[in-house]
Amino acid sequence: MTDPLQPLLELPGVRDAADRARDALAEVHRHRTNRRGWPNTAAEASVRAARASAAIDGGSTDRPPPGETGDPVLAGALRVALALDGDALGILVSTWRRAPLQALARLHLLAAADLVAVPEDLGRPRTAAGVGERLDALAQLVTGGTAVPAPVLAAVVHGELSALRPFGVGDGVVARAASRLVCVATGLDSHNLGVPEVTWMRRAQMYRDGIAGFARGTEEGVGGWVIFCCGALEAGAREATSIADAFAG
């Protein structure tokens, strides 16, 4: 069977960007703090990722005072972060590997619980033409339909979910979380230490332009998006290194 993503590796700069992302994340996993203390650094990375992810979608970065509900976008991003940390992460990764659409439904339930008008819409993709077919195709890629490097697959999953907006609300948080699941499930970032969301937040316009380019489906647009995402993974490894350094004292 032909690998539908293999041509991406022939686009200028893609393979090199993927290699740099892989090497940077491998290096941060070798940090002396992360040899045993990775649960602490991973928890901190998860919170930073949630705050940045919420900010990308117009949410707050500040946690509410005890007893207050606070911003619903941030609340959803933090719930997703909890599902991507500790024992919960292992459960979700297992689901992702065998039933990615079920994992996406779970992510949407967490991300959009305070955002949807009809609770029954949580976890249910839109019925618009083509949504189901494209989700099925994405699921096939995730479950063995491609052999491209993990950074490339993570970028494609992220871009497709962002462009498709399968749920209609909360899709950004879901897409970025799905990218994380790819990184963990493939072993690229097995302990979920990277924080690429910080780069996407700081370069929000470039991020939105990148999604639009991916959605157009041109070689330039798709290649540019993949390279941008790989660069964010590389920068996210540097963010992870700063977290590990702080825990090292």
As a whole number of angstroms, the longest Cα–Cα distance in the chain is 54
pTM of the predicted structure, to 2 decimals: 0.96
- Does the structural domain 6-248 have CATH classification 1.10.3290.10? yes
Supply the pLDDT for residue 70: 86
The ranges assigned to domains in the chain are: 6-248
Q: What percent of the chain has pLDDT over 90?
A: 94
Q: Can you spell out the DSSP letters for the chain?
A: ---TTGGGGGSTTHHHHHHHHHHHHHHHHTSHHHHH-HHHHHHHHHHHHHHHHHHHTT--SSPPPTT----HHHHHHHHHHHHTSHHHHHHHHHHHHH-HHHHHHHHHHHHSTTT-SSGGGTT----STTHHHHHHHHHHIIIII--S-HHHHHHHHHHHHHHH-SSSSSHHHHHHHHHHHHHHHTTTTTT----THHHHHHTHHHHHHHHHHHHHT-HHHHHHHHHHHHHHHHHHHHHHHHHHHHHH-
Supply the pLDDT for residue 154: 98
Q: For 55-77, how does the pLDDT look when each residue is reduced to its tens digit (9 = 90+)?
A: 999 999 887 777 777 899 999 99
Is the distance from CB of 80 to CB of 107 less than 8 angstroms?
Answer: yes
Supply the pLDDT for residue 65: 77
Per-residue pLDDT of the chain (249 residues; tens, 9 = 90+): 799 999 999 999 999 999 999 999 999 999 999 999 999 999 999 999 999 999 999 999 887 777 777 899 999 999 999 999 999 999 999 999 999 999 999 999 999 999 998 899 999 999 999 999 999 999 999 999 999 999 999 999 999 999 999 999 999 999 999 999 999 999 999 999 999 999 999 999 999 999 999 999 999 999 999 999 999 999 999 999 999 999 987
CA gap 246, 111 in Å, rounded: 29
Query: Quick one: tokens of 114?
Result: 């305070």
